Structure 1
Amino acid sequence: MKNSLPFTILSLLLLFFNTATAQKQADLLASQTYYQGLVDFYYDSLNDKIYFSVSKSQLNEEILYIHSLATGVGSNDIGLDRGQLGAERIVKFEKAGNKLLLVQPNYKFRAKSNNAAEVAAMEQAFAQSILWGFKIEQENSGRYLIDATNFLLRDAHGVSRTLARKNQGNYALDLTRSAFYLPRTKNFPKNTEFEVTLTFTGKPEGRWINSVTPNAEAVTVRQHHSFVSLPDNNYQARKFDPRAGYFSMAYYDYAVPLGVPLEQKFIARHRLEKKDPKAKVSEPVKPIVYYLDPGTPEPIRSALLDGARWWNQAFEAIGYKEAFQVKMLPDGADPMDVRYNMIQWVHRSTRGWSYGASVIDPRTGEIIKGHVTLGSLRVRQDYLIAEGLLAPYKDGEKVPDAMEKMALARLRQLSAHEVGHTLGLAHSYASSTEGRASVMDYPHPYVFVKGGKIVLDNAYDDRIGAWDKVAIAYGYQDFPEGTDENKALNDIISASLKEGLTFLSDQDARPQGSAHPNAHLWDNGKDVVAELERMMEIRKIALTNFGEEAIRKGEALAKLEEVLTPLYFFHRYQTEAVAKVLGGLEYRYALRGDGQFATKMIDPEWQKRALESLVKTLDPSFLALNEELMAQIPPRPMGSYRNREIIKVKTGMTFDPLSAAESAADMTLSLLLHPERANRLVEYHARNEEQPGLEYVIKRLIKTTIMKPFPKNFEKEVQMTIDNVVLQKLMELAVNPKSSNKVKAIAHYHLDLLKEWLEDKAEYALPESKVHYGYGLKLIKAFEKEPEKYKVSDLLPLPDGSPIGMEWGCGQ
C-alpha cells in the first residue's frame, strides 16, 4: 500500500499529459484541411501553413522531388520562363531525434553488389546531401506531423540568384507578400503537388527586369514543388552508344570486375513495351502521350500538334501501333503535374530559345516526364524573313499566303525537334547534308527561284527523316525474349552506316573552332559551298526587289530596316558552314571494329572553292546596298526605338549601310582567321603540302581585299571598310594567345609585307586613297611597336538573330 499514492499521482500526471497532448494535437489540426495522397498533408488556412504527415512506413522510402517555375518573368535574356523545370532529385525522409531529415542519396557513385558491406562502404565513401530538416511537431498513430511551410515557401528555383547573375538587381524573398497557391496545390496517390506565390523585392538595376514587370521593385512569380512516386523496377536500361544519337546518363559502379569500365552509361528514354513482342505490329502496353498547352492559339495549335505527331512514323516503322500520341491537355489538368508530358507555348518580351527538357529517373535513365517549351515569337521571325524575300505588299494584289505557310511549316518542324529531345534524342547536325535526314538538325529555310521569282514552297520538311527512324529504333525497339540485345542494337547502327547516315552533334557543329565540314547549324545542301553560292544569288534577287512593298501600307517606313536585316545577312549561317570546310577534318564517332574511318583530310580543291566563296562575301559589290534602297529608310519615328535585332550603327539615328558592311565582313573574317582554324591550316599543310596552308589563305585574302583596285562611288567606301576589318583581324591573329607560334609568325610576316605595300601606295595615291592607306600604315606601325598592348578592335557585331527562331542546346 505504501506505493499506491505515488503510483496514483503518476497515473494522474500521465493522464493529464496525454489529455493535454491530445488537446494540443486537436487544436493544431482544428483549422486544417486534410489532403490524402502520396505525401499526406494538412493546410492550415488561418496561418497559411502546410504540414506533412509522414508515416513510419514511409521513412527511408525513396521518392522523386522536383521544383519548377509555374509562371515566368517574361524576359528571354533573364531566362526565367513559364514551365521551366529544375533538376530532379531522389529523396527520402529519415528520422533523427526530434527531426525528419529530407536526404538526397548520391546516385553518381554506386556499388551494384549483393555484398551489403560493399554497398555500405560505397555509400560511406561519398557525401550525401540533406536538403531540409523538419522538426517533428507531433507523433500520433505511427505518423509524424512536420511543418513544411518554410521548405515550400522558399526560392527553390533560384529566382533571386538568377536576377543577380544577370545583373538585374539584388532581390530577396518577401514572405509577407508570398503565400500558398491552392488552385494548384493537390494530392494524388502517386504524386503530391504544391504551388506557391513568391514575391521578390529589391532595387532593380537592369533594363530587362524593368521592361517586363509592372513594378520592378516587386517581382512576383509562382514556383511549383512535386513529389512523385518512383517507377517500379521493371524498366530495362539500354546501353549508350555514341553513334546512336541519344543523351546519356552515367554513374560510377565500383563493384564492376577489373577490365570493365567504372563509368556505366545508358541512354535516356521513355518506357515503351509491346503487348506482344513477337508480333510484327503490336499496340504498346502503355503509349507515350504528350499534351499540348490549351493556351496555344490556332493556326499554331494545329501546326504544333501535326509536327509532334510526326514521331509516330518512327514508332510505326519499328512495329508499334499508336504508340506515340499527342492530345490537348484535359480541362483541370496541371501542366506542372509530372504525369503529363507537356508541350507548352511560352510568351516572352523578346525572341528566345525553345527547349525540350525531361524529368529523368536518376537511377536508370527512364524519362518520367517530357516537357517542351516553345517561344511564341519565333513564328513571327520566320514570317519576317518571308516578307523580306517576297516583298509581297504590292498595290492592288492579294497578299500571298506563302509567308504564313512557311512560318507554320517551321513550327511543325520545331515541335517535332523539341519533342525529339524529350524522347531522349540529341542534335544531329550532319543531317542537313544528307537530304534532311533528321528533324534534330537546325534547318535554314530552303528557298529557290522559279520563273525569276523566289518560291517558299519547300522551305521546311514535312516529316521526320531517315536518321530519326534509326535513332528511335535504337532506343525503343522491343526485342523478343532470347534476342541478343547488344548485337541487335549494333545491327541497327551498322545498317544506318551502310545507308550513308552520319551522327554528329553539338561539339562538332559550332562555327568557331570546330572542324567537321558537314556538321553545321542552319545550313542546307550536300555541298555547302555550292549552297552558299546559290543563296548569295537568291539574296541578290531579293535585295534587287526590296523596297517599300516589303511592309504593309500604313506602317512606318523605318520598319523596312527590320525586314531588311535578316535579308542582308541571309548568307550568315551558310557562311559559317563553308568556313568549316577550310582547314577542316572529316571524322566519325568510330568504334573499334565498326568499319568507319577515324579521320580524313578534306579535298584541297574543295577547300580552295570554299575560300573563293568566302572572299566573295567580302566583295564590295556584294555588301553594298543600292542608293534607291538606302534612301527609303528614315530614322525611327517617335515612339519607336532601335532594337538589337536590327543593324548596329555608328551614325546615331540614321540607317548605317557602312556599319552593316563592317558587321558582315567581321563575321566572315572572324571565321576565316579563327586561331584554331589557322593552327590546323598550318598543321595539315605540313602533313600534306597539297592542303592549302595559312600562307595560301592570307595571300588570297589580301589580294582580293586590301590589294584589290578600288571600285567607284559608294562601293569604294564599302571596300575601305572591309579593308580595315581585314587588317584588324590579321593583327588579332598575330597576338591571339590561342594562335600557335607558327601562326603568329605568318601573320606578322604578312603584316610586314602589307606595311611595305601600303608605304608604296600611300606615296602615289590620290588624296582620298592616301588617307585610307596612311591610316592602315599607321595602325601597323603602332602594332609593331608594342604588339602586346594591341587591343581587340571594337567592330560592330552582327544583329541578334542567331539562330533563326532561336534554337539551342537541348532544344531550339
Structure 2
Amino acid sequence: MFKQLLFLATALSFSAIAQDRRPTTPPAASGTPAATAPAAPAAAAPKAGPKSYKEVITDKSKTTKGLFIVHKLDEKYFFELPDSLLGREMMAITRLSQSSTTPGSVGLPAYGGELLNRQVVRFEKGPDNKIFMRSVAFINVSDDANAPIYKAVRNSNLDPIAMAFDVKAVRKDTSVVIEVTDFFKSDNTVISMSPIVRQAYKLTMLQNDRTYIQSIKSFPINTEIKVVKTYGVTPPMPSFGPSTSPIPSVNLPAASIAGAVTMELNTSFIALPAVPMKQRLFDLRVGYFANGYTVYGENSQRTEDKTFVVRWRLEPKNKADEERQRRGELIEPKKPIVFYIDPATPKQWRKFLKMGVDDWNVAFEKAGWKNAIRGEILADNDTTISMEDARYSAIRYFASDIENAYGPNVHDPRTGEILESHIGWYHNVMKLLKKWYMTQAAAADPRARKNKFDDELMGQLIRFVSSHEVGHTLGLRHNYGASTATPVEKLRDKEFITKNGHTSSIMDYARFNYVAQPEDGVTDFFPRIGDYDIWAIEWAYKPIYDTKTAEEDKLILNKWYKEKALPNRRLWFLTETNPYDPRSQNEDIGDNAMLASGYGIKNLQRIVPNLVEWTKQEGEDYDMLEEGYNEVVTQFRRYMGHVTKNVGGIYETPKSADQDGPVYEPTPKKMQKDAVAFLNQQLFNTPKWILDENILRRIRPDMGVDFISKIQETTLSSLFASDRLQRMIEMTEKTADAYSMDELFADVKGGVWGELKTRKAADAHRRNLQKIYVERMIATLNAPAAVGFPSTTPMKMFGAVVAPSVDIRKNDVQSMVRAHLTSLQGEIQAALPTITDKMTKYHLQDCVFRIKKALDPK
C-alpha cells in the first residue's frame, strides 16, 4: 500500500587515528654550558606493537560480553575481537534513534527508528599490527572457492578498507583488542548516513566537542552502539514556491535556532548467519523482492545472474518436528517471526496493529507452519527490549503529519534471509485512510459519513494497512494485477464478497470496494489476506526437503506453479510496475476499468450532494469540506487514468519457457474502443455533476472550470503520448483487427468536436477542451527529437518494465497528426458560416488560425 524505503551507503569516508609521538630529548641541566654539557643518554624507544593485555584492559575496566567483548575504561571503549570473528561477515545497521528533523520529502529518514544506512563489513588482520574493517559488496562471485576462476573474481572485486585500527593488545593469541572510541565518534559512512541523506539535511562538519558515545551494549549475536552526534548545518533559505531540486530536503528547526543539529544514532553490528540459509531462486511469476549477483562458474560458458528472493528463515525445532511436517502436520518454527508494537503507539490502536501481524498465520499454515508470526504489545514500562536493537523487529510509531506507512526489511545479501524489520507507521496515515474510505465507500457504508470515524472502523482500517506492510516485510511486492481477477459484477455480489473479498491480494493497491452500490447489500469493503497471498507465502516458505541446491528446488517450485497457480487466475502475479498493461494498475478494482469506473462515478455522484452535511463541524470552517471534495476530484481523476491505460495497451503475462502462449498480447480492440467512448461520455462531455455550486461557493472563488480542463488536458496528453501511438502503429502492422491510431484520432475528435455536427454553441468548458485538443495535436506535430532512455527495447529489472523513448519524427505519428489537423481545419471552416453564437465563432476562428500557423509556419 505504501512505499518501501531503502537507504544504502553510496560512498565511504576514511578517518585516521593519530599515532603516539616519541618523547622529546630532555633539556640540558641548569648551569651547564650547552657546548660542554655531557651528552644525555638516548631515550629508549617505546616498545613497538601491542602492549600486554593487562596493561590495556586493567581491573578498572567495565566489561560486557557478546558479539564483541566490550571494555570501557574511563571514557574510552575497546572491542575485543576473538580470532573466530575475524573474516566473518556481519551487518552494520544504523538508525536514527532521536532527532529533531521534519521531512520535506516522503522517503527521507527523519524520525526515531528510521533506517539511515546498512553495510556488510568484516574485520581482518592487516600488516603492521593493524585490524582492517572492510566494506563488503556482493556483485560478482564464484560459487566454487577451489576453482581457478575464484581467484580471478577476487582479483577484480577487492573490498575497500573502510577503517584501520591499531592492535592495542593481544590476549593469549586468541583475541585482539582495538580502541573504537574515535571511530564511533567519527562520521565514517559505515556507521553514519549516506552522502545523499547528508546533502538533504544540508549538514556540514561534525562538531567533535558536542559528539559523544552514549552507550555500547553487547548481546550474543549483536552489539549496539548509541552515539549523539552534532553537525554544523547550512540554515534554510526562504522559500518562495515549490522546490525544483531533484534532491529531497528536510526542515531542521535547530538550524535556524542554533546553527547546528544534534541527532542520536544507533548502530547495530549483527553477525550474519554462520550457516547461510539455502536460497530460493527468483521467479517473475511470483511477486517477491529479490537480491542477486553475477556468478562466474568454472564450467559455465557465460556469466549467470543469480537472483534470489528475500524471506525469513523458518526451520523445525528438531528432527521429530521435521518428520511431522513431512507427513503434512503443522509445526511451530524454531524461531517465529515476531513484531513488537512500539510503546509510543496510542493504546486504542495497538491491538489493531497486532491483528494485522497475526492475520498472516492463515497463509503460513498453508506452508506447513503453525504460529509462525505474531505481534507482541510491549508494556509501557518494558525496558527489556530496545526498539533500536537489531535482534527485534518492530512497528515504530512516528508523530508525523506524513500520510504514509512503509514496510522495509534488512536481509543477508548472500542468501536473501531477512534478519529484521522496522515498519514505519506515521500518525497521519489515519487521515489518508479516512479520506479514502469516505470517498470510496460512503455511498454504501453509513459508518463512513462523518468527520471522525468510530474507533472500531478506524481500527479495522489500521489493521488492513498493518497487514499490507507486514506483507512487504515478509518479502512480498505489490501485485497490482490481483484485483483484475475479480469480474466487476462480482464486486456487487454480497455472498461472493463475504467469501472472497474484492481482490485476491492484500498486496494490491485495491484499497476499498468502490463498485458496490447501496442497493447491493455489500457490507465488507476491506481488502484481506487473499488467495494470492496464501499461495505466495506457500511458494516461498514451504520447506523443500531432500534437495541440496536452490537449482533443484527451482524445478520443484516450477511444478508447484503449474499445478496450483497456472490454472487459477486469482493466483497470478502480473508484475508490480508496467507502463503497458491495463490489468496492472494501482488504485483500481475489477476486470473492466470502464464498468468499474462507471459504478464508481455513480457512487461519487451520490456522495457529492452530501459532503457539506457529512463534513460539517460546529464552530469550524470548511477545511474538511474542501479536503473531502478534493479527494472526490482525485478519485474521479484516477478513474480516467484507469480507463486511458486500456488504449494502446499490451497485456504482459509472465511465463517460463516451458509454458505455452505469448507473453505479450494487445488489449482487445473492443476494450480500447470502449475506453475512448467512456472518456468521451464521462470526461470530454463536461462532468457538471462534480461542479456542485453548494460546495464550490464555500471553498473556492471560481467555479471549477480550470480544474476540469486540467483533468481533460492530462487525459488527452496521455492518450496522444508518443509511446502509446507507437504501440498502436506496431499493433496495426501485426494484427488486422487492431485498434489503429487513425481510429483513435477519429473517435476522440468525434467526442471533443461534436458541436461541428450539431452546430450548437460551445460553452466555456467545451471551448477550453477544444483548444487543448488543438494545442496537443500541434505539440505532437512539432515534437523535437526524443530524449531519455535511448534503447529501442524496454528495460527490465525483476519484471518491472521501463518504456524506451520514441522519436516520432521517424515514424508515422506526425504524418497522421498532420492529416487529422488538415481535416479538422476543413471541418471547422465548413461549420463557421452556420455558427450564430458569437463566442463560439471567435473560438473556432482562433482554432483555424492556430492550425494554419502550425501546418504552414512560414
Coarse TM-score class (shorter-chain normalised)? 0.7 to 0.9
Which of 496, 503, 506 is the aligned partner of 2:565? 496
**1:194 positional shift:** 0.9
| Counterpart position of 2:105 | 77
Distance 1:211 1:459, change over 3 A: farther
Distance 2:237 2:62 in 1: 42
- Secondary structure of 2:504 counterpart: coil
| Counterpart position of 1:289 | 338
User: What letter matches 1:550 in structure 2?
Assistant: T
**Preserved contact between residue 152 and residue 225 of structure 1 (Cα < 8 Å):** no
Distance 1:587 1:20 in 2: 65
- Secondary structure of 1:180 counterpart: strand
**Any stretches of 5+ residues in structure 1 without a counterpart?**
1-11, 509-513, 636-653, 788-812
Q: Verify: 1:547 aligned to 2:612, yes or no.
A: yes
**1:448 positional shift:** 5.1
- Secondary structure of 2:812 counterpart: helix
Distance 1:191 1:202 in 2: 36
**1:391 positional shift:** 8.1
Aligned positions of 1:540-619 closer than 5 A = 540-595=605-660, 597-619=662-684
Which of 85, 100, 103 is the aligned partner of 2:131? 100
Distance 2:428 2:761 in 1: 36
**1:44 positional shift:** 5.6
**Preserved contact between residue 123 and residue 133 of structure 2 (Cα < 8 Å):** yes
**1:237 positional shift:** 1.6
| Counterpart position of 1:272 | 314
Distance 1:236 1:627 in 2: 60
Distance 1:258 1:210 in 2: 49
| Counterpart position of 2:244 | none
Aligned positions of 1:716-731 closer than 5 A = 716-731=763-778
**Preserved contact between residue 387 and residue 551 of structure 1 (Cα < 8 Å):** no
| Counterpart position of 1:146 | 179
Distance 1:138 1:718, change over 3 A: same
User: What letter matches 1:60 in structure 2?
Assistant: G
| Counterpart position of 1:421 | 472
Distance 1:631 1:56 in 2: 73
Distance 2:250 2:539 in 1: 48
| Counterpart position of 1:458 | 524
Q: Verify: 1:381 aligned to 2:450, yes or no.
A: no
**Preserved contact between residue 691 and residue 704 of structure 2 (Cα < 8 Å):** no
**1:316 positional shift:** 0.9
Aligned positions of 1:80-479 closer than 5 A = 80-82=109-111, 83-85=113-115, 86-115=117-146, 117-137=148-168, 142=173, 143-154=176-187, 156=189, 161-162=195-196, 166=200, 169=202, 171-182=204-215, 185-200=216-231, 201-205=233-237, 213-216=253-256, 217-233=259-275, 235-258=277-300, 262-274=304-316, 275-276=321-322, 277-280=325-328, 281-329=330-378, 331-332=382-383, 333-352=385-404, 354-387=405-438, 407-435=458-486, 436-447=503-514, 457-461=523-527, 463-479=528-544
- Post-superposition Cα deviations, 1:11-33, rounded to whole Å, max 9, x if no partner, equal x9999967999799858968864
**1:520 positional shift:** 0.8
Distance 1:519 1:778 in 2: 42
| Counterpart position of 1:642 | none
Aligned positions of 1:664-679 closer than 5 A = 664-679=711-726
User: What letter matches 1:725 in structure 2?
Assistant: I
Distance 1:350 1:59, change over 3 A: closer
Distance 1:121 1:270 in 2: 33
| Counterpart position of 2:837 | 766
Distance 1:245 1:448, change over 3 A: closer
**1:212 positional shift:** 5.8
**1:477 positional shift:** 0.6
- Secondary structure of 1:204 counterpart: coil
Distance 1:269 1:482, change over 3 A: closer
**Preserved contact between residue 94 and residue 103 of structure 1 (Cα < 8 Å):** no
Distance 1:365 1:31 in 2: 43
Distance 1:391 1:366 in 2: 42
The percent identity for this pair of structures is 22
**1:57 positional shift:** 4.7
**Preserved contact between residue 80 and residue 159 of structure 1 (Cα < 8 Å):** no
| Counterpart position of 2:794 | none
TM-score (norm: length of structure 1): 0.82
| Counterpart position of 2:800 | none
Distance 1:413 1:726, change over 3 A: farther
Distance 2:58 2:668 in 1: 78
**Preserved contact between residue 171 and residue 203 of structure 1 (Cα < 8 Å):** no
Distance 2:230 2:130 in 1: 29
**Preserved contact between residue 310 and residue 417 of structure 2 (Cα < 8 Å):** yes
Distance 2:513 2:219 in 1: 48
**Preserved contact between residue 286 and residue 572 of structure 2 (Cα < 8 Å):** no
Which of 64, 75, 90 is the aligned partner of 1:63? 90
Distance 1:691 1:77 in 2: 43
**1:132 positional shift:** 1.6
- Post-superposition Cα deviations, 1:485-538, rounded to whole Å, max 9, x if no partner, equal 444312321111111232122232xxxxx1112111010112222101111111
Distance 2:845 2:341 in 1: 63
Q: How many residues in Structure 1 have an aligned counterpart in Structure 2?
A: 741
| Counterpart position of 1:748 | 818
Distance 1:545 1:93 in 2: 69
Distance 1:449 1:687 in 2: 39
- Post-superposition Cα deviations, 1:749-770, rounded to whole Å, max 9, x if no partner, equal 3233333444555665533223
Between stretches 274-283 and 155-164, larger displacement belongs to 155-164
Distance 1:374 1:256, change over 3 A: farther
- Post-superposition Cα deviations, 1:676-724, rounded to whole Å, max 9, x if no partner, equal 1111112112222322111111222122124436999999222223233
Distance 1:263 1:50, change over 3 A: same
**1:590 positional shift:** 1.0
**Any stretches of 5+ residues in structure 2 without a counterpart?**
1-40, 240-247, 487-502, 787-805
